[in-house]
Structure 1
Amino acid sequence: MTQTADLPEQLAEIVEEFAAVPDQQKLELLLELSRELPELPAKYQENYTDSMEQVVECQSPLFLAMEYDDAAGTAELIFSAPAEAPTTRGFASILQQGLSGLSYQEILNTPDDLHQRLGLGKAITPLRLRGMSAMLGRVKRNIREHLAK
């Protein structure tokens, strides 16, 4: 059984979805999630490469922006990934759906082995899995830097 007790509720639900399907269907689920990645908000659409940070560890061009609500202590995650990079978009969608709007601490407490808990090891190359790990690492680093200011 997949361990989800230490995950935020919305992220645990995604991990449980992956655990519920056979290995050969995990990639299909990831592709489905890639289509759910929200469009960029208007303020990022023009020159997003200048207003967003590139996650260079990803094989495909992936850009990240974070919006902080210090009064509530929450962060919104905004990703841009090309349609022709569906696995990258899928990973971004998982993080966006699973973490966006949560408290800084909930995001920082997200286990670093999230990419392994999705059970995608047989469907996706290790390099792509490291890309997802890098995305989560970048999100956490940005929160730590924001809190240090």
Structure 2
Amino acid sequence: MPPQLEELVEDFSGVGPKDRLQLLLELSRELPELPERYADAADSMEQVHECQSPLFLAVEVDDDADRRVHLFFSAPPEAPTTRGFASIMHTGMDGEPASAVLAVPDDFYTALGLAQAVSPLRLRGMAAMLSRIKKQVRAAV
């Protein structure tokens, strides 16, 4: 796993279920704003329908040798769990080489220990986010 993502997994697994939810909510407030080119998320980004709240994502991959990945997410402020998941993805994978993003285990989110704090439907949404990110990275490389 990329170092930042590994650090997040350690942060989450090192605290109890109640604190995990609080950490997720804190991360939801750290999700970066979208650049202007993605202002109309519904038209310019891919929707992740498995998420319970509207979530859109876009992936850009640099043309350089490292093929660094850049992630962009749109989720409403009133959906802190979804925003928190998106923030985990952004913090853990944005700027990483495509090979590192593609190597992230499909079930890495289970190590976060969120199963006790959020519903299985929400975890399914997080799995779908990762799947869409990898699909877009593969298409770009």
TM-score (norm 1): 0.91
What is the match of residue 101 of structure 1?
Answer: 95
What is the match of residue 63 of structure 1?
Answer: 56
Matched, 1:49 2:42: yes
Partner residue of 1:15 out of 9, 12, 23 = 9
> Secondary structure at 1:79's aligned position in 2?
strand
What is the match of residue 82 of structure 2?
Answer: 88
How many Å separate the matches in 2 of 1:22 and 1:93? 20
What is the match of residue 112 of structure 1?
Answer: 106
CA deviations on 1:78-137 (whole Å, 9 max, x unpaired) are 001001111000000000010011111100000111110100011100000010000001
Aligned residues: 140
What is the match of residue 68 of structure 2?
Answer: 74
What is the match of residue 34 of structure 2?
Answer: 40
Structure 1, gaps ≥5 residues long: 1-6
Identical columns (%)? 57
Opposite residue 144 of structure 1, the aligned amino acid is R
> Secondary structure at 2:115's aligned position in 1?
coil
Structure 2, gaps ≥5 residues long: none
The alignment's C-alpha RMSD in Å is 0.9
